[in-house]
Amino acid sequence: MPNIKIPTVFNIDLEFEAADMGRRLVAYLLDLLIRGAYVLVALYLINKADFDSQTNNVVLTLVIGIPISLYYLISELLMRGQSLGKRIMDVKVVSLMGNVPSISQVLLRWMFRLIESPLLSMLLIGAILSETSPFTALMVLIIGMIPIVMVLRSPLNQRLGDMAAGTILVRTRQRHSLEDTIFREIAQDNYQATFPQILRLSDRDLSKIKSVIDSTQRSKDYVMAERISFKIKEVLQIQTEMPALEFLETLLNDYNYLVTRK
């Protein structure tokens, strides 16, 4: 499969290898087997417990129905864009910025999965075989083929849920990682930028700050960090007693927060 280049605001293009249809399908089938095995074990234990009819229906819903329906939502949240099948097949979901998808992105993908599932497509195709109306059979076939056609026709191999959520499915191998950029993931919802003046610097300046931070952390020599901190404070007219390395880290965090929330 061809590589996908994702332009970012962080002075470098992230390059991923697109997940091909075969790899996606095998990952889905592995997840299907995992869920199937869970259902068989759960059914065995529930039947062995010998509940009455009403209790049995409640237990089936709580132990099987809900976990199976939430499988992708929970696994992609906990495994940072992967399910067990995706991890085995070396693929993952990333946002169009190249980072781990947000909760809202994973939720949106999961919601669209309810109508895009290959299993649903197979059930729809199966319904064709027992359908007597040619028009209805044609409509069912079209609906069942939509997910596959969307992926094949999309420049980034996205299904409809990916397009809506702003995500893509890629191989976990990539030429450039986010650690090579000035990207920092700001997890705090209530984060407050300390130095909004950072937006006056260019990407080249910010990349220099990142390289100084990395060099300082490796060598434990804080001279260069002190020098660049003094220069930045002078140019941006910042007054702070913050230690040099902490000051530079805060600048990058502020920049990421301000840029990604524009």
Per-residue pLDDT for 193 more than 90? no
Q: Could you tell me if 200 and 216 are in contact, meaning their C-beta atoms sit under 8 angstroms apart?
A: no
**Residue 14 corresponds to which tokens in the numbers above?**
């992230």
C-alpha angle 245-237-231 in degrees, rounded to nearest 5: 50
**Residue 236 corresponds to which tokens in the numbers above?**
């941006």
Residue 61's H or E segment, with its range, is none
| Phi, psi dihedrals of residue 38, rounded to the nearest 5° | -60, -45
Q: What are 132-145's pLDDT values in tens digits?
A: 566 665 665 666 66
| Phi, psi dihedrals of residue 177, rounded to the nearest 5° | -95, 170
Tell me whether strands 13-18 and 167-174 are parallel, antiparallel or unpaired. antiparallel
Residue 91's H or E segment, with its range, is strand 91-95
Q: How far apart are CA 21 and CA 148, in angstroms?
A: 8
Q: Could you tell me if 201 and 144 are in contact, meaning their C-beta atoms sit under 8 angstroms apart?
A: no
Q: DSSP assignment of 93-124, as one string?
A: EEETTSSPPPHHHHHHHHHHHHHH-HHHHHHH
What percent of the chain has pLDDT above 90?
23
pLDDT, residue 181, reads 57
Per-residue pLDDT for 2 more than 60? no
Q: What are 114-135's pLDDT values in tens digits?
A: 777 655 555 555 555 565 566 6
Per-residue pLDDT for 10 more than 50? no
pLDDT, residue 53, reads 86
Per-residue pLDDT for 7 more than 60? no
Residues 92-120 have a mean pLDDT of 82
pLDDT, residue 177, reads 47
Strands annotated E in 149-252: 167-174
pLDDT-based confidence at 155, cuts 50/70/90? confident
pLDDT, residue 82, reads 93
Residue 18's H or E segment, with its range, is strand 13-18
pLDDT-based confidence at 259, cuts 50/70/90? confident
Q: DSSP assignment of 174-189, as one string?
A: ESS-GGGTT------T
| Phi, psi dihedrals of residue 40, rounded to the nearest 5° | -65, -45
| Phi, psi dihedrals of residue 174, rounded to the nearest 5° | -150, 150
Query: Any residues with CB less than 8 A from the CB of 221 and at least 6 apart, and which?
Result: 215
Nearest Cα residue to 229 out of 253, 246, 254: 246
Q: What are 15's strand-pairing partners?
A: 5
**Residue 105 corresponds to which tokens in the numbers above?**
């992105």
pLDDT-based confidence at 12, cuts 50/70/90? very low
Per the prediction, the chain carries an average pLDDT of 79
Residues 60-78 have a mean pLDDT of 92
Q: What are 20-36's pLDDT values in tens digits?
A: 888 888 998 999 899 99
Nearest Cα residue to 83 out of 32, 20, 136, 158: 32
Map residue 202 onto helix, strand or coil.
Answer: coil
Q: How far apart are CA 197 and CA 122, in angstroms?
A: 55
